[in-house]
Amino acid sequence: MIIIDYQSRKPIYEQIVERFELLIASGALDPDSQLPSVRALAMNLSINPNTIQKAYAMLEEEGYIYSVKGKGNYVSRDARLLQRQQQSFYRSMGDLVEKGKLLGVTKEEFVGEAEKFYEGEEEPDD
Amino acid sequence: MIIIDYQSRKPIYEQIVERFELLIASGALDPDSQLPSVRALAMNLSINPNTIQKAYAMLEEEGYIYSVKGKGNYVSRDARLLQRQQQSFYRSMGDLVEKGKLLGVTKEEFVGEAEKFYEGEEEPDD
Amino acid sequence: MIIIDYQSRKPIYEQIVERFELLIASGALDPDSQLPSVRALAMNLSINPNTIQKAYAMLEEEGYIYSVKGKGNYVSRDARLLQRQQQSFYRSMGDLVEKGKLLGVTKEEFVGEAEKFYEGEEEPDD
Amino acid sequence: MIIIDYQSRKPIYEQIVERFELLIASGALDPDSQLPSVRALAMNLSINPNTIQKAYAMLEEEGYIYSVKGKGNYVSRDARLLQRQQQSFYRSMGDLVEKGKLLGVTKEEFVGEAEKFYEGEEEPDD
DNA sequence: GTGGTCTAGACCACA
DNA sequence: GTGGTCTAGACCACA
């Protein structure tokens, strides 16, 4: 469920945070369902429990999960999380378009490539 | 020409590198034209000369600029730089599309928004 | 009678203790009246009986309740409990005022808002 | 500037966070002024640098400070921080009023005591 | 068993 | 010198 790129310049805890943000905002994880325990996930990924702890603390601070003492961490029930992710998504798109303009990518090229990306993945047949 | 966001989490030297990469790949800086001297730019942005040094070293290593001992740093003449930037650009687009799918953004929404971003900005009146 | 906020950062047993403290000190629970049994309350709130046990033990230690072996837990008859709560109440008020001063809240603003809070709520129509 | 109560149930890093929140929101610390370095403050309070780090990370996440890599942590310039603190302040007041009502504290008593607290501190003479 | 806090200490990136 | 990440390990509170 969580994949870590140990070569990445992005810190481990951040990779975990971003992964869970997506899983939660997209609905892949149901509200009030329990996250893997700190120790279990640490073992699983063979990293230090403190690092997981840090990631979970961050997710709680951001409202993605809530923690129940002595029981575990649970997915928050908050519709605004999806909105928030989408907003950040469109902001990234804006940045990308700006970069594209600088590099001489036309609107048509941009849209054409994007459509290919959209289609390419889902049905690898035909 | 170079704008630094001092509050950004992105290191200063990296901001400088990326900015020059774009300026050079897009042709905004002509091949063989001279870059501002390390000291001048450091003074101008009021940051540590070592930071500029590091950015220039990186740009040289990547082939964006070449340095002439005792004279200064100059823009490389290399058509592949634009290609390289565009490739990285399309890779980013692919990542963005993946994220969009997870967040339930449809192809139509994606394309629609992208077009808005393309049109929205002030076009240099001709 | 007892409401638990499972998402609160405050431990469950503590929420239970504080709730009973108020109910008893305010006279909402009569002296010598019986508290719900540990098991019943645990079932009712669907939490671990150990947690209720711990809360009751704490209330007994503080003198709010007394326990009769084999029978159950009962509300203490002790006028000083109200005083104690009120003292702690005024201490909190002192802390709040200090904080208000730091934040630039004037005495007039403080009093004005407090009066609004006092009036705002539904008063048990008489 | 920062005082730690080592007996408190409140974690050290949280005490540090709350103290800086007040100092910053109240304007006692000027925007863009530098906070003590992680190591210096750690030494000063004789606690582990990791604990200070944690507090600073939290303050950054909340927008009270920003961190410049290799240079230090600085106070944010954001007027909404004061508002945010005041909102939380009035929420606390609301809770306190509710408690007061339960304990039989009348509006007049509440206001009277609050005024005493407001006056008591400033001029210890007269 | 669950999360949370803290220390000690190493090591890296950045300016 | 500055912050940031991570590990190892202890110890506590809670359910």
pLDDT for the residue B126: 45
Please say whether the beta carbons of B3 and B45 come within 8 A.
no
Residue A40 identity: A
Closest approach of chain B CAs to the CA of A122, in angstroms?
10
- Per residue in A23-39, pLDDT (tens digit) is 999 999 999 999 999 99
Q: Between the CA of residue C11 and those of A69, B23, C91, what are the distances in Å?
A: 7, 56, 22
Closest approach of chain A CAs to the CA of B120, in angstroms?
10
Confidence tier at C1 by pLDDT (50, 70, 90): confident
Half-sphere exposure of D40 (CA within 13 A, CB side): 7
- Site of tokens 């941009």: A110
Instruction: Write down which chains contact chain B via at least 3 CB pairs under 8 A.
Output: A, D
- Per residue in C57-97, pLDDT (tens digit) is 999 999 999 999 999 999 999 989 999 999 999 999 999 99
* Average pLDDT taken over every residue of chain C: 93
D37, closest nucleotide (Cα–C1'): F2
Confidence tier at A120 by pLDDT (50, 70, 90): confident
pTM to 2 decimals? 0.91
Q: For chain C, what percent of residues have pLDDT higher than 90?
A: 90
Please say whether the beta carbons of D93 and C113 come within 8 A.
yes
Class of residue D87 by CB neighbours under 10 A (exposed 0-12, middle 13-18, buried 19+): exposed
- Per residue in D46-105, pLDDT (tens digit) is 999 999 999 999 999 999 999 998 999 999 999 999 999 999 999 999 999 999 999 999
- Site of tokens 């949280």: D14
pLDDT at D125 over 80: no
Give strand F nucleotides closer than 7 A to any protein Cβ.
1-9, 13-15
pLDDT at B64 over 90: yes
- Per residue in A36-51, pLDDT (tens digit) is 999 999 999 999 999 9
